[in-house]
Structure 1
Amino acid sequence: MSQSPLYLQIKRYIIDNIESAKWPIGHRIPTELELTEQFKVSRMTVNKAVRDLVAEGKLSRKPRLGTFVCIADDKAESPLLDIQNIAEEVRLRGKTYSSKVIKQIALRADDSIATKLGIMLGSPIFYSEIIHLEDNFPIQYELRWVNSLYIPGYLDQDFSQITPNQYLSDNCPLSAIEHTVEAVAADDTVRSALKMGLNEPCLLLNRRTWSEDKLVSSALLYHPGTRYKLSSKILLT
């Protein structure tokens, strides 16, 4: 070991594992007791190193679960009380936007989707599944169901060039939105799509949109909790 203070050596060890991607975002690092035994130092020394990294936003503590890798200072952000085109959001942050279209198909509404869209069971609908990326790294996994009666040209669009949000806004001007945000445990499909760690938290935004009195679409928007946040600003008069 070097001659620098012991807590700094432990801190450097943790940072090296994060920066080398040996410990990816969402990874649970060794416990303080395990680090104490590994480095043959006091618990106080290990605690100092971990506390510093938590304060710097590189680690986050989860009560009864452990301490996890996170990059809190570089989170993408979307407004909670409005709808913005995610491609434009990314570009405004000075980043490069891209997307991967996973599915774009016609379906018949099952019970769940019929309820979400306010239509009859078995009605024709359109479905798209898209991963949105910022600098080639996934930040949103979008599952969207659209009432085909109101947007007949939906499946003809190239959603690698235009986002569903932009297309819907251009063709069915927004009159109302409904947002519900949940913290969820991501399943294997979501974790794979968003390149999330096994224990990384996930934010799910449920969104429904209306144009005039027409309920046009319902979407599930998954975000990696360590890389994304939703915010709002309300002016009080």
Structure 2
Amino acid sequence: MKYDHIKQAVYRKIESGEWPEHHPVSSENQLAKEFQVSRMTARRALQELSDEGLVVRTRGAGTFVAPLKSQSALLTIRNIADEIRLRKHRHHAVVRLLEEVDAEPGLATLFGLQQGAKVWHSVITHFENGHAVQVEDRHINPALVPHYLEQDFTLRTPHEYLCEVTPLTEASHQIEAVSPTSMQQQWLDLDQAEPCLQIQRRTWAREGMVSQAVLTHPGSRFRLGGHMTFSQKAKVLKTQTKK
């Protein structure tokens, strides 16, 4: 569809940083001329981009790139620091907790540990351009990652460290909307208990389950995105001739 080509072109300019926040977007007339479509088609593309929160349309002023929320890939596991740097933004982290705790019964079972065994626990707030965008609450299997508590996670993220010491082979995600706890609200610097998006992520290596992380994001500063490519396999029809 022609309007979708326009949307993809605008999206690529925003994603690449060529059009930063508040940058003016080509007008309906300019897009219609560039893509050789009707003005109505160009208007539909801009309206859908506006509905998706990527651009802001102001009567009499034009269309502009919307202030970008932090975005994570839904279908892949990526390092939050890398995602932020890809947007040409600054990442830094504050370690709230880094400790040894008793494993809850369910977690001990998942990790293949005896009931009452110790596990590693960390809580880290990740910032993008000075704004808190994620509280990462993670439990680690000490049998697979024995030196976790010795790391400085202001220099590299737990994800970076885990990929280095025990290559991950599998992951699962559960996503839900939640109200933040009082501590999450404080760590995310929320003025009020706004809805948050929470991802529970479990990761495995060849030897067993490595970690369970609960990633909490303020709804006003974060969105999940994904892109899928579908391949069409050629269908081969065979005919048989009766003899």
TM-score by length of 2: 0.66
Letter in 2 for 1:98: H
Change (3 A) 1:56 1:233: closer
Q: Can you list the C-alpha shifts for 1:96-144, whole angstroms capped at 9, x where unaligned?
A: 1101001111112122432453433211210011000011110000000
Q: Tell me by how many angstroms 1:233 deviates.
A: 1.6
1:122 aligns with 116
2:216 aligns with 222
Letter in 2 for 1:187: T
CA distance in 2, matches of 1:56, 1:122: 47
CA distance in 1, matches of 2:223, 2:52: 18
Q: CA RMSD in A?
A: 2.1
Q: Does 1:184 align with 2:178?
A: yes
- Correspondent of 1:202 among 188, 196, 216: 196
Structure 1: 4+ residue segments shifted above 6 A: none
> How many residue pairs get matched?
171
* SS at 1:139 equivalent: strand
Letter in 2 for 1:165: H
CA distance in 1, matches of 2:132, 2:110: 26
CA distance in 2, matches of 1:223, 1:112: 25
1:102 aligns with 96
* SS at 2:160 equivalent: helix
1:67 aligns with none
* SS at 2:126 equivalent: strand
CA distance in 2, matches of 1:86, 1:55: 26
2:147 aligns with 153
| Structure 1 spans left out of the alignment, 5+ residues | 1-53, 58-71
2:132 aligns with 138
Tell whether the 8 Å contact from 1:116 to 1:218 is kept in structure 2 after alignment: no
Q: Tell me by how many angstroms 1:235 deviates.
A: 1.6
* SS at 2:127 equivalent: strand
Letter in 1 for 2:69: K
Q: Tell me by how many angstroms 1:215 deviates.
A: 0.3
CA distance in 2, matches of 1:73, 1:118: 45
2:161 aligns with 167
TM-score by length of 1: 0.67
- Correspondent of 1:92 among 73, 86, 94: 86
Determine which structure has more spread, i.e. the larger CA radius of gyration.
Answer: 2
CA distance in 1, matches of 2:93, 2:137: 13
Percent identity between the two aligned chains: 37
CA distance in 2, matches of 1:75, 1:82: 18
Q: Tell me by how many angstroms 1:89 deviates.
A: 1.0
* SS at 2:220 equivalent: coil
Structure having greater relative contact order (Cα 8 Å, sep ≥ 6): 1
Point out the more displaced range, 176-185 or 109-118. 109-118
